[in-house]
Amino acid sequence: MDETVKVKINGEDYVFFKGISLEEVAKSFQQSCRYPIILARVDNTIKELNYQLTKSCDITFLDLTSREGNRTHISGLTFVIVYAVKSLYGRNADITIQHSLDKGIYIETNFELNEEKLEKIKQEMIKIISSDLDITKLTIDRLEAIKYFKTVNDLAKAGVMKYNTNSYITLYRLGNLYNYFYNFMPTSTGKLRDFDVTYIKDNGFILRFPTAYISDHIKEYQHHPHMFDVFKEYRDWAKIMKIENSVDLNSIVSKGNINDLIRIDETLQSNKLLEVARTIHENKDIRIVLIAGPSSSGKTTTSRKLSMYLRSFGLKIRTISMDDYFVDKEETPLDADGQPDYECLEAVDLKLFDDQIEKLLRKEEVVLPTFNFILGIKEYKEKAKLDDNEILVIEGIHGLDTNILTNIPRENKYKIYLSPLTEINMDNHNRVSTTDNRLLRRIIRDNRTRAYGVDKTLESWADVRKGEEKYIFPYQDDADITFNTALIYEIGVLKTYVEPLLYSVDSESEYYEEAKRLLDFLRLFLPIPADAIPQDSILREFIGGSCFHE
């Protein structure tokens, strides 16, 4: 009987005794990673480091600079924070993970916090990490897990277990504390040394760490007031509606009351956009409305719906897409890998764009381009000239970039930053990522409008995210307003459309693990039918049936 396994790591062949853990193997390869090895990809599957090798395979070790490793790093740090606050302030002390903010995570405590207390928490975390305590993975009967979380007064997690039909649940233990995370976890606290914290106000602070996009240091915190205030506004509204997590939403669905929530949420979002239109109407200096946001933030629906509201105030609207100003295909700049970079500002014929917009504002006639994406060239067909009470609504990923329309005074522009700022979490320690929300939207839309498979969308997603980091997010603070395009109920609706698509990803695909992660996340939400969603909803841009697109 063969007692060894052959393994390929970094292109080299190695032989290990059968049953050896990835943890033991990783010790010999730590020098090849900048940060502590936290996970491994074994053939095509992500494994935690307690996994034992039983057959020949290819191994790629992952640290926090990988997307999978970064999620694991954040989950591990969350567990350490929970352990630290309970050690310092008692078993009833807890945190709630709120949302991402400036390459960090905004967190609130259920007790009064100040800078001195936060420093104590940080030092306690450092102590826990320096002690390299084990984080043990356990499989527990689901009903026993529910009893435990009720005993420690974590009713949200007990509720999550209620909507999970598995007989057994995977929990993690740190010291005498048990917790549930839907991401992978590190095997010990010693792998979590790279972090910092920043006090914000009241009971809130930012957990900071290196990311896949800024991997060589921990970014100094920069406050984004628009983003922070919008998150707070919608979080406060969610509390009023008594919907703070997936359990609360599932409860409404299971009682048959979801249609009322849909109507309330849609009315709220429409009223917010109507107020934006009113602000624009009342400011006579505004001649251009610029709308920008990351992928799948609902730019098209928002621009058309806003235009409709502006018309209701008696304004005439001319809509322009910056995509029509792409340079011809052969002139598209190349990225570092020699591939066409359609996300960069240089992919836009900026001279033509600036010149035409300036002429329009001077009431001169221009011939607008329409980009032919099949031929990769601009075509000129439509003549345009603005009337006295006509304003431009311009949509594009570079709409907030300070390098566009520099020849037009700032007071003549009104800039809107769009993003689905998801205000609902799974429970206190597991958040719903805004990026995941956008990815689910995009998978559905790509499949419906372009017949793309999930693999193709996931293949392009990394480049889309890089483009957003470079060309969109740095300019968000120049917006006059941040508009939240998320709907509190939408994950349940997206689930009904995207779940079958995710199951189509083959186990041999390099994107299988990502599809599986999304499926695991979606299992925590009950499905919501789309029947009650109005035709002018932003969500219709993705699932179909929009009055603006169909």
User: Which tens digit of pLDDT belongs to each residue from 212-221?
Assistant: 888 889 999 9
Q: What does the pLDDT average to over 141-166?
A: 92
Q: Where are the alpha helices (DSSP H) in 472-511?
A: 490-502
Contacts 24+ apart (CB under 8 A), 107-112: 107/81, 107/204, 107/205, 107/206, 107/207, 108/202, 108/203, 108/204, 109/85, 109/203, 109/204, 109/205, 110/203, 111/85, 111/203, 112/203
pLDDT at 336 over 60: yes
**Tokens 């997206």 sit at which residue?**
494
- β strands within 155-248, DSSP E: 168-174, 177-179, 196-201, 204-208
Angstrom distance (rounded) from CA 127 to CA 111: 22
Residue 549 scores a pLDDT above 70: no
Those residues whose C-beta lies under 8 Å from the C-beta of residue 119, and which sit 6 or more positions away, are none
Comparing CA positions, the residue from 480, 494, 501, 479 lying closest to residue 530 is: 494
User: Which candidate, 504, 509, 420, places its Cα nearest to that of 459?
Assistant: 509
Query: Which amino acid makes up residue 192?
Result: L
In this predicted structure, what is the pLDDT of residue 373? 86
β-pair partners for 95: 109
285 burial level (CB within 10 Å; 0-12, 13-18, 19+) = exposed
- The residue written with tokens 């304003």 in the block is 391
What number does CATH give the domain 228-543? 3.40.50.300
Q: pLDDT, tens digit, for every residue of 158-210?
A: 999 888 888 999 999 999 999 999 899 999 999 999 999 999 988 999 999 99
310 Cβ contact partners less than 8 Å away, ≥ 6 residues apart: 277, 280, 281, 289, 317, 391, 393
The secondary structure of 252-285 as a DSSP string is HHHTT-HHHHHHHHHHHHHHHHHHHHHHHHH-TT
CB 38 within 8 A of CB 186: yes
Report the percent of the chain where pLDDT is more than 70: 99
CB-based burial, 134-152: b 16+ in 10 Å, e otherwise: ebeeeebeeeebbebbeeb
User: pLDDT tens digit string along 114-123?
Assistant: 999 999 999 9
> pLDDT tier at 338 (50, 70, 90 boundaries)?
confident
- Please, which pLDDT band fits residue 341 given cuts at 50, 70 and 90? confident
Q: Which residues are paired to 171 by β-bridges?
A: 138
Contact criterion met (CB below 8 Å) for 429 and 82 = yes
In the chain the first and final C-alpha atoms are separated, in Å, by: 64
3-state secondary structure 331-366: HCCECCCCCECCCCHHHECHHHHHHHHHHHHCCCCE
In the predicted structure, residue 70 carries a pLDDT above the cut 80: yes
Q: How confident is the model at residue 94 (pLDDT cuts 50, 70, 90)?
A: very high
3-state secondary structure (DSSP) of residue 398: coil
Is 70 exceeded by the pLDDT of residue 1? no
Residue 228 has pLDDT above 80, yes or no: yes
Chain centroid to CA 390: 36
Q: What is the three-state SS of 234-257?
A: HHHHHHHCCCCEHHHHHHHHHCCC
d(CA 443, CA 512): 14
CATH class held by domain 68-223: alpha beta
302 three-class SS: helix
Domain ranges, ordered by start, for the chain:
4-63, 68-223, 228-543
Mean pLDDT of 386-415: 94
CATH topology of domain 4-63: Ubiquitin-like (UB roll) (3.10.20)
Q: Is the pTM of this model over 0.85?
A: yes
Residues 83/102, Cβ–Cβ less than 8 Å: no
Residue 4 main-chain phi, psi, to 5 deg: -125, 165
Cα–Cα distance, 13 to 512 (Å, whole number): 25
Report the pLDDT averaged over residues 21-29.
96
